[in-house]
Chain A
Amino acid sequence: MSRHYLHVDPTLCVGHRLCAEMLPELVTLDDFGYPIISPDPLPHDLGRRVRRSVGACPALALTLDGTPGRRARRDEQGPGTPSG
């Protein structure tokens, strides 16, 4: 079975917080009200609820795919420069 990961497009997210209510196992909120998504692959038993949450995001900011997000690969690269 392929692994799936939940992502948020931070340029679309405005902090409606629905995801954190619907998926408390995977989504917590930072001190500014924006979602912190678990970097781990999604547990299979959550599949339906995850898909419903993706559809429910008012900003359409949530996506599902097979690639881990940046927070899961933190040590890969330094921050570089703006001209990186």
Chain B
Amino acid sequence: MSLLATAAELDLDLPRSGPWTKRLLAGSRLGGAEPLVHHVSRLGGDITDWTGRAGPDQLLDRLRRSGLRGRGGGGYPTSDKLAAVRRHGPGSVVVVNGSETEPVAGKDDLLLRLRPHLVLDGLLAVTRILGARQAFLVAHSAPALAAVRTAMRERQDLTLPVDVVRGPANFVGGEESALIRWLEGGPALPRYQPPRVVDRGWRGQPTLVQNVETLAHLGLVLRLGPDWFRGLGLADEPGTMLVTLSGAVEGPGVYEVPIGTPLPQILQVAGADPEAVALLVGGYFGSWLRAPEVQGLALSRASLRPAGATPGAGVLHLLPRGTCGLRESGRVLAWLAAQGARQCGPCAFGLPAMASALNEVADNGSVEALAQLQRWGDQIEGRGACRHPDGAVNLARSAAVAFPEELQRHRKGACGGHRQSSLPLPPVAHPR
């Protein structure tokens, strides 16, 4: 049985090429933002049409039955998160999170630039469900901000104040609590939880922070129903997801794929170099998969879990031939260490130590450094205010097991990899 449903049952659009069945990226002319008239003629009506007479309870139930999970990386069930905020009654705050501070991610930015009305539909829908009184939309780039502002001027159905703001540039600034502090006028640094932001977020109000892509799916779920949504993807992980693919591929960029699409299929369509070293799944917090391993794996939590990986926010990077996975990981780990908020001791001191150890492993294959890496990873995990140290530890652990041949070569003083980095390491940005 194919995991790829046909385009016919979507009633949206035929795939442009290859096996893709598009939903978020459906519609004509992907060159710029889809104007409201096209959006409405393609999908039909305003929210009163597409939600019918359904009240907030029915809308939330529809969302629950869809099985939609967050697309920002955590994969938390969206209906549960909404219910946690809704418990407090009306008057909550919604933050549309398009901060996307990961250097090799670009799907939220693309969505805001090309399909802003899908995201605004989602915002409108959660506003209805929650009875929210204030919203923020945080975008990463100037073009995304401009597209959102234009789209907002096109529609009259958003009745609550929506502040459209440029997000923080620092890596940890996209974390929920950091983003809220930023929106309050403070530094974009995570705070210790509890209280959780769903209970006490922006200015102490219950706050829903929801990823841009999640909201775009959510809008479509409420328009077209949970059964439609479940028509693609897996039974336990329904729907499509956006993938940002970079590295040794002919066609880098953002792809929309049903969850459960085999990784080799994605790589093949993108024109991947078959001689590439390894695939990084899940971005800078992610895990390395070697070529033989990739063959049997699909883009889903269930398929990747035994390999110690998770789709995260759909960030894939194919490490080009000639690069060394150990060196690359050491550089990224040092960069992640520098990106920390300097608030929590285990992260502030542990990550630089781990980065030094990993770089020593990359230099000479040191067994002692490898043991230290393991020890510090075990000590640090789960002890930051946010998950930044956990993500960095995940990358380090993965690097330590994914490149055994490289490790042996480095012990003998030989490394095939050249010095240039494949993963971009932009200058460290300040949280203000």
Contact = CB atoms under 8 A, between A and B. Distances in A.
Nearest to B308: A78
B388 A82 contact: yes
A83 B345 contact: no
A36 B378 CA distance: 11
Interface stretch (B117-125, B217-225, B379-387): B379-387
A69 interface: yes
Interface in A9-41: 9-15, 30-34, 36
B383 A81 contact: no
Contacts of B87: none
B252 interface: no
Contacts of A44: none
Contacts of B301: 78
A15 B105 CA distance: 36
Interface string B264-303: 0000000000000000001101000000000000000100
B345 A33 contact: yes
A71 interface: yes
The binding surface of chain A is classed by DSSP as loop
Given A10-B385, A32-B349, A83 B285 contact: no
Contacts of A65: 194
A78 B282 contact: yes
A49 B105 CA distance: 48
A80 B285 contact: yes
A80 B391 contact: yes
B74 A78 contact: yes
Give the one of B99, B174, B283, B345 with max A CB within 10 A.
B345
B394 interface: yes
Given A80-B312, A80-B391, A82-B102, A36 B375 contact: no
B108 interface: yes
B100 interface: yes
Contacts of A67: 194
B350 A11 contact: no
Interface residues of A, number: 27
Given A77-B76, A81-B283, A82-B174, A34 B345 contact: yes
Interface in B122-163: none
Nearest to A61: B192
Nearest to B191: A11
Contacts of B346: 10, 30, 32, 34
B262 interface: no
Give the one of A10, A31, A79, A80 with max B CB within 10 A.
A79
Given A78-B74, A84-B176, A10 B384 contact: yes
A69 B285 CA distance: 21
Nearest to A79: B391
Interface of B: 70, 72-76, 97, 99-102, 105, 108, 171-176, 191-192, 194, 211, 282-283, 285, 301, 310, 312-313, 315, 343-347, 349-350, 353, 375-376, 379-385, 387-388, 390-391, 393-394
Interface of A: 9-15, 30-34, 36, 65, 67, 69-71, 74, 77-84
13 contacts: A10-B345, A11-B385, A13-B344, A30-B376, A32-B350, A34-B345, A36-B383, A77-B76, A78-B74, A80-B313, A80-B387, A83-B100, A84-B211
The 5 lowest CB-CB distance pairs between A and B, nearest first, are A81-B73, A80-B73, A10-B344, A83-B174, A78-B310
Given A32-B350, A78-B394, 6 more contacts: A10-B343, A77-B76, A81-B315, A84-B72, A84-B176, A84-B211
